[in-house]
Amino acid sequence: MNNGSRRRAPYDEKGKMKLDWGSLKRVLGYLKAYRARLVAVAVCILVNAIAGVVGTMFLRTIIDGYITPVLKDGMAPDFAGLTGTILFMASIYVFGVFATFLQNRMMVTASQGTLKKIRDDLFSHMQTLPIRYFDTHQYGDLMSRYTSDTDTLEQMIMSTLPEVCSSAIRITSAFCAMLITSVPLTFVSLFIVTLVMFLSRRIAGRSGRHFVGQQKALGELNGYVEETVSGQKVVKVFCHEEKATEEFRKKNDALCREATNANKFANILMPIMGNLGHLQYVILAIVGGAIAVSTGGAALTLGAVASFLQLSRSFTMPLNQISGQINSFIMALAGAGRIFEVMDAESEEDDGYVTLANVNIDEDGVITESDTKTGKWAWRHPHGTGEITYTPLCGKVEFFDVDFGYNEEKIVLHNISMYAKPGQKVAFVGATGAGKTTITNLINRFYDIADGKIRYDGININKIRKSDLRRSLGMVLQDVNLFTGTVMDNIRYGRLDATDDECVAAAKLAGADGFIRMLPEGYSTVISGDGSDLSQGQRQLLSIARAAVADPPVMILDEATSSIDTRTEMIVQRGMDALMKGRTVFVIAHRLSTVKNSDVIMVLDHGVIIERGDHESLIAQKGQYYRLYTGAVELE
């Protein structure tokens, strides 16, 4: 397991907030790709901060050099000098504005590029996760990693980080200027700022805990909404609207409660900081005025007092802004932690080294590997001695005393032993939960067995690379997933290099060609919404055509005709019979009429094969299969 997957709690044992420095470090690692732009951004921030301080310092020059002499000594106003100084100040501020403009332009590119890379890595890694991961995580919660969590991260990269850096530079420059202007007033200002920081830390600590809870509650709410929307027909059929609404309200109340507590503390932070800033301004004005009057301007001039007051604002305002950004920072790191949690999830292990290869087979049966597509395949098996052997891809599957459990405490398959010769049709029947689908999931290594052995063409499937193993298998599931695109694109999903003619041939084989040509644009008709405009039977026919175009030696049909009416089933069955010729076929079906012509039928009960044989022999035994077939026992 990757050490990064052990997420650290955002709070210590005393309940105090602590930043997830690991997530912050990883975000900064993504930003390294834009280090040149970030250096330019830092320069712009520095220029903007210096421009602000220099402009403020010139206020002292204007008051002491041009205004005080006129009011105090009765000198003639120097309008030319005053105008030049003001124009110089204006040019400094304009330069600062230009630096801010460049900073924002470059930060947009860096932030969006970083987010793109994070989303790319997140999605790419998600494709490597095992089926087990998706079985144990809500789809809606996973979707929230791409939406709300990414949004908060975007806010942090685009706004919070530059704001924090800018504030730090402005604080430093303003503090240096304050020391140059007046050391006593600087210490007064520091005392007040210390008090403000103490209060802001206490408030931010309370709100941060609830911001993390808000992100978690939002993920749960999104997951529930996604499940309810996708299962809306079931909700309505069973009149579950009130219960669904009640459950939604509970989750929504939890989100509202966490969000309210988070923002309740966060929203009082800025007013408190603002009012304390006003109080500081008044105190500094009184102390500075008293020093200036008592010393007659020797220790502190009026211009210095006015300049210091503005510098104190330049010093405390960034502090206020940092305090205001703390909550956004915490929320963004919580979102980043959830994103990296998925990225740190352990990928599906694959230590297989036996691969599929295009080959030529001569009249003597000698196999030679080919760099071009030949239509013939063999398993390329390298050995420790350096020898490479080739085994023709036939589709022979054997189970030897296989045990399997989704966890160590609960074994669902017990001592499964069976074999399927090339071209045989093997059917699994039994009640729901008997283990039928689980067996087929083991063939394509969606899950790995706990004990025993599975061989494919005489090769232990653990030695076969998973991508090559699954490429040799065709699978038609009960739940059909169609993707946005044309009908042709959805059929070609079975084999991306298939030609249009091959896709059409596969559709004809599956019995789908007839209804496809009746669609508005035929094979070019765009499917959206998971094929909501098609009937369940039509969607299933497309799924079968998708498997047919892959032209695999082994087919797995998991309730493939369960959603098709009897008339359509006859059409499909003819296509399936043609499709199954010369192939090893595993069939799971509730309609026992579809498995009568199987070479062997295996009856499962609680993960154990209790009967096996062809239809006639099992009927003659008058056992469980006989009772299922005659309706004495229901499959459910």
Q: What is the pLDDT of residues 220-233, one digit of tens each?
A: 888 788 778 777 76
Highest mean pLDDT among 61-65, 90-94, 622-626: 622-626
Q: What is the mean pLDDT of residues 572-576?
A: 67
Using the predicted structure, report yes or no on whether residue 11 has a pLDDT greater than 50. Answer: no
Question: Measured between alpha carbons, how far is 307 from 59 in angstroms, rounded to an integer?
Answer: 6
Question: Measured between alpha carbons, how far is 634 from 431 in angstroms, rounded to an integer?
Answer: 8
Output the pLDDT for position 355. 92
The answer to whether 476 and 583 have CB atoms below 8 angstroms apart is no
pLDDT category of residue 186 using cuts at 50, 70 and 90: confident
The answer to whether 526 and 445 have CB atoms below 8 angstroms apart is no
Q: Are residues 383 and 530 in the same domain?
A: no
Output the pLDDT for position 375. 79
Q: Are residues 303 and 387 in the same domain?
A: no
Mean pLDDT lowest among 354-363, 383-392, 560-569, 619-628: 560-569
CA dihedral 423, 429, 434, 440 (to 10 degrees): 20
Question: Measured between alpha carbons, how far is 69 from 81 in angstroms, rounded to an integer?
Answer: 13
Q: What is the mean pLDDT of residues 566-577?
A: 67
What's the alpha-carbon Rg for the chain, to the nearest Å?
36
Residue 595 sits in a domain whose CATH number is 3.40.50.300
Question: Measured between alpha carbons, how far is 541 from 519 in angstroms, rounded to an integer?
Answer: 14
Query: Is there a domain that residue 230 lies in?
Result: no
Q: Are residues 304 and 446 in the same domain?
A: no
For strands 584-588 and 554-558, give the pairing.
parallel
Residue 165 sits in a domain whose CATH number is 1.20.1560.10
The answer to whether 530 and 481 have CB atoms below 8 angstroms apart is yes
Mean pLDDT of the chain: 81
Output the pLDDT for position 1. 37
Q: Are residues 475 and 417 in the same domain?
A: yes
The answer to whether 298 and 257 have CB atoms below 8 angstroms apart is no
Question: Measured between alpha carbons, how far is 255 from 20 in angstroms, rounded to an integer?
Answer: 22
Question: Measured between alpha carbons, how far is 235 from 38 in angstroms, rounded to an integer?
Answer: 51
Query: Is there a domain that residue 227 lies in?
Result: no
Output the pLDDT for position 457. 93
pLDDT category of residue 15 using cuts at 50, 70 and 90: very low
Q: Are residues 275 and 417 in the same domain?
A: no
Last residue in a domain, options 391, 412, 447? 391
Output the pLDDT for position 7. 40
Q: Considering only residues 172 and 570, tell me which one the structure prediction assigns the higher pLDDT.
A: 172
Output the pLDDT for position 501. 93
pLDDT category of residue 16 using cuts at 50, 70 and 90: very low
Q: Are residues 312 and 460 in the same domain?
A: no
Q: Considering only residues 2 and 456, tell me which one the structure prediction assigns the higher pLDDT.
A: 456
The answer to whether 335 and 159 have CB atoms below 8 angstroms apart is no
Total residue length of the chain: 636
Q: What is the pLDDT of residues 370-419, one digit of tens each?
A: 888 887 889 999 998 889 999 999 889 999 999 998 877 788 899 999 98
- Contacts of 118-124 with CB under 8 Å at 24 or more apart are 118/30, 118/150, 118/153, 118/339, 119/146, 119/150, 121/343, 122/146, 122/339, 122/342, 122/343
Q: What is the mean pLDDT of residues 2-21?
A: 47
Q: What is the pLDDT of residues 101-148, one digit of tens each?
A: 888 888 888 888 888 999 899 999 988 888 888 888 877 778 888 888
Question: Measured between alpha carbons, how far is 86 from 446 in angstroms, rounded to an integer?
Answer: 74
Question: Measured between alpha carbons, how far is 67 from 120 in angstroms, rounded to an integer?
Answer: 61
CA dihedral 593, 598, 600, 601 (to 10 degrees): -20
Using the predicted structure, report yes or no on whether residue 354 has a pLDDT greater than 90. Answer: yes
Determine the distance from the C-alpha atom of residue 492 to the mean position of all C-alpha atoms in its chain, rounded to a whole number.
26
Whether the CA torsion 146, 149, 152, 157 is positive or negative: it is negative
Output the pLDDT for position 524. 92
- In sequence order, what DSSP letters do the residues of 164-224 get, joined into one string? HHHHHHHHHHHHHHHHHH-HHHHHHHHHHHHHHHHHHHHHHHHHHHHHHHHHHHHHHHHHH
Mean pLDDT lowest among 15-29, 32-46, 109-123, 582-596: 15-29
Helix (H) or strand (E) holding 607: none
Six-digit token string for 22: 């690991």
Mean pLDDT lowest among 72-81, 144-153, 439-448, 550-559: 72-81
Q: What is the pLDDT of residues 464-473, one digit of tens each?
A: 999 899 888 8
Q: pTM for this structure? A: 0.70
Q: What is the mean pLDDT of residues 588-599?
A: 80
Query: Is there a domain that residue 9 lies in?
Result: no
Query: Is there a domain that residue 615 lies in?
Result: yes
Highest mean pLDDT among 175-184, 187-196, 573-582, 617-626: 617-626
Output the pLDDT for position 389. 92
Range of the domain at 366: 355-391
> What is the number of domains present in the chain?
3
Output the pLDDT for position 214. 78
Q: What is the pLDDT of residues 431-442, one digit of tens each?
A: 877 888 889 889
Q: Are residues 561 and 428 in the same domain?
A: yes
Query: Is there a domain that residue 217 lies in?
Result: no
Q: Which residues pair with 598 in a beta bridge?
A: none
pLDDT category of residue 209 using cuts at 50, 70 and 90: low
**CA-based angle 254:255:259, to the nearest 5?**
120
- At 394, give phi and psi (nearest 5°): -115, -35
Query: Is there a domain that residue 232 lies in?
Result: no
Q: What is the mean pLDDT of residues 581-608?
A: 84
Query: Is there a domain that residue 554 lies in?
Result: yes
The answer to whether 89 and 58 have CB atoms below 8 angstroms apart is yes
User: What is the number of other CB atoms lying within 10 angstroms of the CB of residue 433?
Assistant: 14
Q: Are residues 305 and 454 in the same domain?
A: no
Q: Are residues 291 and 371 in the same domain?
A: no
Output the pLDDT for position 418. 92
User: What is the number of other CB atoms lying within 10 angstroms of the CB of residue 491?
Assistant: 28
Q: Which residues pair with 388 in a beta bridge?
A: 382
The answer to whether 342 and 136 have CB atoms below 8 angstroms apart is no
**CA-based angle 578:583:586, to the nearest 5?**
100
Q: Are residues 473 and 554 in the same domain?
A: yes
**DSSP conformational letter for 4:** G
User: What is the number of other CB atoms lying within 10 angstroms of the CB of residue 233?
Assistant: 8
Using the predicted structure, report yes or no on whether residue 4 has a pLDDT greater than 50. Answer: no
Six-digit token string for 61: 């020059």
Output the pLDDT for position 488. 93
Query: Is there a domain that residue 312 lies in?
Result: yes
Q: Are residues 380 and 523 in the same domain?
A: no
Six-digit token string for 131: 């089926």
Output the pLDDT for position 461. 93
- Tokens 């013939």, residue located: 376
Q: Are residues 160 and 292 in the same domain?
A: yes
Using the predicted structure, report yes or no on whether residue 2 has a pLDDT greater than 60. Answer: no
- Tokens 């939960």, residue located: 433
Output the pLDDT for position 10. 47
Q: Considering only residues 366 and 632, tell me which one the structure prediction assigns the higher pLDDT.
A: 366
- In sequence order, what DSSP letters do the residues of 236-302 get, joined into one string? HHTT-HHHHHHHHHHHHHHHHHHHHHHHHHHHHHHHHHHHHHHHHHHHHHHHHHHHHHHTTTSSS-H
CA atoms within 13 A on the CB side of 390: 16
Using the predicted structure, report yes or no on whether residue 323 has a pLDDT greater than 70. Answer: no
Q: What is the mean pLDDT of residues 189-213?
A: 71
CA of 218: how far to CAs of 142, 145, 267, in Å? 11, 10, 20
